[in-house]
A and B are shown apart, each in its own frame.
Chain A
Amino acid sequence: MPVFRWGQNWNPIRDLEREVDRLLQGMNLTLQARSSRRFPLINLVDEGHRYVLTAEIPGVELPDLELTAANGILTLKGVRKAPPEAREDSFRRQERFQGAWQRNLQLPDRIDEDRMTADFTLGVLKVILPKVAGAVARSIPVSEGPV
């Protein structure tokens, strides 16, 4: 554990905190899923004939992003690299997620995997998930009186 850093008072509590954070990060997935530090965060909107998924994935390069759908489960995975010239012991604050991540999302309806499209702009991933024809809810007209 580094004890002295340039221009900084000795702060054992902060060092301890950081060491514990690092330890927890090493334990990875099971812990992350239970805390609020999931990455990335996902929203899903039902637009009737399709679902629109958005996820905040700032700082991930497109080649490091992978999107697959199979059997009603959508999988997003990728890697968010650490800042280029940062050494582990040079951080004063480290709140941003870094490393490999994966999110699985169970889709409520069957989707047409061949017509899926995705767009990644300003660190926000947007995935259009068209529902298969049979999955779109049809409204059934109800008439009054005996049939």
Chain B
Amino acid sequence: MNESREIKAADSDEDVRSVGSDGPRMLFNPPIDIYETNEGLVLYADLPGVKTEGLDLQVQDNRLSLFGRVVDAPNHANMVHQEYQVGDYLRSFILSDEVDHDRITARLNNGVLRVELPRANRPEPRRIEVSAE
């Protein structure tokens, strides 16, 4: 599926395992919303169980990546009904030059991450004086 050119999901849809100090953990691709506002783009990601301290959000080159570590993976001693597994979250996106990388802000609230990606101001066209020899 084609993505918009400002931001692209650079992930695969497969869940993999990450290895932490306490052994292998599940790693998931969190669901996201991306929408456009007058100022630029806003990204939402569902990261239930992740605290601010456990969240790592990075922009390097053109890649925005988020990694969320869940607080505790409870022991499933006697699971009688299971619909989800507990694990960490990883997803990354390719940003275009239209996004002002320096003004990206993020807030984590109630298990939801909100990232604001302001559009870069385009420089005014510059008139070049031409002088005759």
> Which residues of A are at the interface with B, using a C-beta cutoff of 8 A?
5-9, 11, 13-14, 17, 38, 41-48, 51, 54, 56-61, 83, 85-87, 90-97, 105, 108, 122-124
Q: How far is the CB of A5 from chain B (nearest CB, A)?
A: 7
A contact face: mostly helix, strand, loop, or mixed: loop
Q: How far is the CA of A118 from the CA of B35 in the complex (A)?
A: 34
Interface size on B, residues (CB 8 A): 40
**B84 x A86 contact (CB < 8 A):** no
> B residues within 8 A CB of A17?
1
Q: Does B104 contact A (CB under 8 A)?
A: no
Are A96 and B46 CB-contacts (below 8 A) given A7-B5, A90-B35?
Answer: yes
Chain B residues whose C-beta falls within 8 Å of the C-beta of A90 in the assembled complex:
35-37
A83 → B minimal CB distance (Å): 6
Contacts of A41 in B (CB 8 A): 83-84
B128 at the interface (CB under 8 A from A): no
**In the complex, chain B residues 22-57 whose Cβ is within 8 Å of any chain A Cβ:** 31-37, 41-42, 44, 46-51
A13 to B2 CA separation, bound complex (whole angstroms) = 9
Partner of A122, one of B6, B34, B111: B111
B98 contacts A46, CB within 8 Å?
no
Q: Is the CB of B4 within 8 A of A38?
A: no
Contact A6–B111 (Cβ < 8 Å): no
Which residue of the partner chain, among A5, A85, A94, A105, contacts B37 with CB atoms under 8 Å?
A: A85
With A5-B36, A60-B110, A123-B47 known to touch, is A45 a contact of B80 (CB < 8 Å)? yes
Q: Shortest CB–CB separation between residue B1 and chain A, in angstroms?
A: 6
B74 on the A face (CB < 8 A): yes
Contact of A45 among B47, B76, B111 (CB under 8 A): B76
Inter-chain contacts of B31 with A (CB < 8 A)? 95-97
> In the complex, are the beta carbons of A92 and B44 less than 8 A apart?
no
B83 adjacent to A38 (CB under 8 Å): yes
Structural contact, B42 and A86, CB atoms closer than 8 A: yes
Q: Is the C-beta of B107 less than 8 angstroms from some C-beta in chain A?
A: no
